[in-house]
Chain A
Amino acid sequence: MFKIILSRFLQGVIALVSVLTLTFFLCRLTPGNPFDNDKQIPEHIRAKIEEAWGLDQPLVVQWGKSLLNAAQGFPQPSFGNSGFSVREIIAQSFPVSFTIAVFGMLIALAIGVPAGVISASRRNTGVDYSIMSLALFGICLPTFVIGPMLAIVFGLELGWFPALGWGEPADLVLPCVTLGLFYGAYIARLSRSGMLDTLSQDFIRTAKAKGLPEWRILIIHALRGGLIPVVNYLGPAFAGLISGSFVVETIFNMPGLGTHFINAAGNRDYSLIQGTVAVLAVLILVANFLADVLQILLNPRLRGGSAETKAAS
């Protein structure tokens, strides 16, 4: 296990440096710079500003500095908002995105897993068809449709929850439900197919032959195997939730990381782009690693497999 962790860590560092390097050069290849605006800055002032930000130095030097800045945890100010360092901006916005992502994911699991299990257990019945049609509907409705719909119905018309904003617990409900419905639909489909796969295996037939009650077969025996595709999906989905909730953050006006991710690119905020990209990259690496570990814990065959390989070698 230690060996796996160490090798994953080294792979991660290499991946991170490559991602940051690629991002750096892609940014500089994009036309426009942080100081282009509709009221143009006189040339002599623009030159001074670029000097102050180090944009007049050779590209290789700037690249080296950007990596150094990343290694130090992004103390450089943001180009777009010079009052804050990139580190602070991420520290302010990450908890917001993390909270929404956690609750969104919990709602998605709470909806998706039971729906998938019920569907699988009632395969090809009306229940199955209606749940799966709903799920398909949920996947097809993007968050920018569900979000405003929920905000208008539950926020403005019924007045149950704030239609948008950030500050009180009630503000969490609509954005998290929006994300939960969308991701829940995926999870329902994934858990249904995972469960069907497991339910068709011999050990389930054995369990049934032994006369075990149905709920025991489903929950105790089948669920662990049936959830493997869901677990596989959770890692990347969670990373995507944190950095990719731009749409939900815009609809519900929340000060999260997704907004910075998009706006930094639009503003050519070179330092903030590097920061947000680094966060996303680390998240994906960590999430994938955790998903792998969880999978090993859930699937006895993987554990056995690695032991056999060891024995053989």
Chain B
Amino acid sequence: MSHLLSMTPFIPNHSPCQSRRKPSSIGQGRLFDSTLLGFCFLILAPLLFSSACRRETKVEKANREGILILGNGAEPKTLDPQLIQSVGDGNIMRAVFEGLVTFHETEDSVALPGVAERWEPNEDFSVWTFHFRPDAKWSNGDPVTANDFAYAYQRILEPAFASPYASMLYFLTGAEEFNKGDTDGFSTVGVKVIDDRTLELSLIGPIDYFTEILKHATWLPVHQATIEKFGDMTDPFTDWQRPENHVGNGPFQIKSWRINHSVVVERNPHYWDAENVKLNGIVFRPLPNEYTEERAFRDGQLHYTYVLPSNLVEWYRENRPEVLRTEPYAGSYFYRCNVTKPPMDDKRVRQALAFAIDRKSLVENVTLGGQSPAYGFTPPFEGVYDPPKGVNFDPEKARSLLAEAGYPDGKGFPGFEILINTTEAHRAVAEAVQAMWKEHLNIDNVAINNQEWKVFQRTLHDLNYEVARSGWIGDYVHPTTFLTLWQTDDTNNETGWSNAEYDRLIQEALQAADPETRLARLMDAEAILLEELPILPIYWYTRVYLLDPSVKNWNPSVLDHRPFQKVDLETPERKE
């Protein structure tokens, strides 16, 4: 751009007699007026022409053809289920692969038979046996066997493969040791192929909610022959995940992938339940800019937007409520406190800050997406878990706690920075919290510092902050996916907080023989977390998005897991 701006226009060098010349002495002919007119016509003609006919929208065309078009957030990084990291990539994986169990249309915590037609745990839920359906097939027609799953689990755990999400499989006995290179050979891991159609998995403890964990994309199988046709088991950069080579076992198969444009999947004729799959295909479009995505929806190019900008929610609520969807999402928005640095090393300061945040006002006036004010860290899972009521808005209590900590009426408070990654939404929340702390605690030396995403992650990791904006999305429907985070040695702890009693309760919960004891231990652990407050809970996420009314059987899901094989489109005259 500097190039453009530094261009100096030529300054005409007039002689005095020239500048006295009447400017109209040149250009009196009629020619230029007609040129001008002709030129305008040239520009406008195509516009006038095209206005004559109304285009069929992409959604209308897709409805005729039975194709679902989804906004899917960012560009997928990979189509390899053992390398994925993001929620959007997981959506594509769920369309083209099927795990041992699959998703229920409406009940988040129910697992339906997938590749396994039935399964049984042993008495204490530590050994699970899965029996495969005989008709499960890969998209190339090969049968899906127990060996494919064992192969996939070995692949993701192989140290040399270095899968970023391998720790999801640490529920298997010996998996962590094998992944860290402490043991040799996959035979030490609790995966046993009994025969082609029977798989036995041994777990590190009694895990009654194991089928929930199995729904995560890291537990999907891969086709051994395809992987090995293009490279070694542990080579992450091979061509097997190319659309032309890709083999899956889900209701759909990969048709094409164009970067920053689309991933297209089409019906997999070999899928065991193919006759009940309603859609002929799905187009996943990366639309990282939320305003662009909303325009795409209004232009009839999308059935579904991944998100909706918060400042447009009100408009849709009033003008087009039939396309607006709001549903709870298993995620928690909170502030991390670095407990190794003053003033956050004082529990009373953290408590004072937590009780001085008016969360209800924040979600109603700032975030606007129907989020719920968080009273704990783990979002409530209906029928499974409700966290203890740890924090609320209590300015009186907050002030007295701050006084106890030695800063009556905020006097002498050393001040600190709220660290955010550069996004307007995070800044808005931070500014609101900053104002609340000033109003209720009389602290006026809280600054807001924003950092670019990667720098922000580094700063967090190096414990180089005081208070930092954070979020956590659950991997499965159970409080352990939230609470294991705050154990002393967890990679994602990043607060410097360590509590022996908390660690003990979490381990006890993981080893508890019955579900009630487990949930009770988790409750106790979360109570400690909310007493100590290395984190300041703010709100629980909602997903707010737009959905075209022609989409049928698209139900709320707290983990954004949609069984695509059940989704349908209202299409009176579909072409087969």
Residues of A within 8 A of B (CB): 30-33, 35-45, 48-49, 51-52, 77, 80-84, 89, 92-93, 110-111, 114, 118, 121-125, 128, 148, 151-152, 154-156, 158-167, 170, 173, 186, 189-190, 192-194, 196-197, 199-200, 208, 213-215, 217-218, 229, 232-233, 236-237, 240, 244, 250-256, 259-260, 266-268
- Restricting to B10-61, which residues have a CB under 8 Å from any CB of A? 10-15, 18, 23-24, 26-29, 31-32, 35-36, 39, 42-43, 46-47, 50-51, 54-55, 58
| Size category of the binding interface on chain B | 35 or more
Binds A, one of B78-86, B506-514, B552-560: B78-86
Q: Which 10 A-B pairs have the closest CB atoms?
A: A32-B454, A121-B27, A48-B162, A255-B260, A163-B299, A193-B9, A36-B457, A196-B12, A255-B261, A123-B23
Question: Does B296 contact A233, Cβ atoms closer than 8 Å?
Answer: no
B163 within 8 A of A: yes
**Chain A residues with CB under 8 A of B358:** none
Question: Does B50 contact A38, Cβ atoms closer than 8 Å?
Answer: no
Question: Does A214 contact B9, Cβ atoms closer than 8 Å?
Answer: no
Residues of B within 8 A of A (CB): 1, 3-4, 7, 9-15, 18, 23-24, 26-29, 31-32, 35-36, 39, 42-43, 46-47, 50-51, 54-55, 58, 75, 77-80, 83, 85, 159-160, 162-167, 179-181, 236-237, 241-242, 257-261, 285, 287-289, 291-292, 295-296, 298-299, 301, 452-455, 457-459, 461, 470-471, 491-492, 494
Question: Does B29 contact A161, Cβ atoms closer than 8 Å?
Answer: no
Question: Does B299 contact A162, Cβ atoms closer than 8 Å?
Answer: yes
With both beta carbons as reference points, the residue of chain A lying nearest to B52 in the complex is identified as A160
A193 and B163 CA atoms in complex are apart in Å by 61
Instruction: For B454, give its contact among A36, A163, A253 (CB under 8 Å).
Output: A36
Given contacts A148-B291, A266-B454, contact A41 B164 (CB under 8 A): yes
Given contacts A93-B260, A255-B260, contact A40 B160 (CB under 8 A): no
Question: Does B23 contact A124, Cβ atoms closer than 8 Å?
Answer: yes
Question: Does B458 contact A32, Cβ atoms closer than 8 Å?
Answer: yes
Total A-B residue pairs with C-beta atoms closer than 8 Å? 214
Question: Does B458 contact A36, Cβ atoms closer than 8 Å?
Answer: yes
**Chain A residues with CB under 8 A of B24:** 122, 125
**Chain B residues with CB under 8 A of A156:** 295, 298-299
Given contacts A125-B24, A148-B291, contact A214 B31 (CB under 8 A): yes
A169 and B181 CA atoms in complex are apart in Å by 54
Q: What are 15 A-B pairs at a CB distance below 8 A?
A: A40-B491, A40-B492, A40-B494, A44-B180, A45-B159, A83-B242, A83-B257, A110-B39, A118-B36, A159-B54, A165-B301, A192-B9, A193-B9, A213-B29, A237-B3
A208 and B32 CA atoms in complex are apart in Å by 18
Nearest-Cβ distance from residue A216 to partner chain B, whole angstroms: 10
**Chain B residues with CB under 8 A of A197:** 10-13
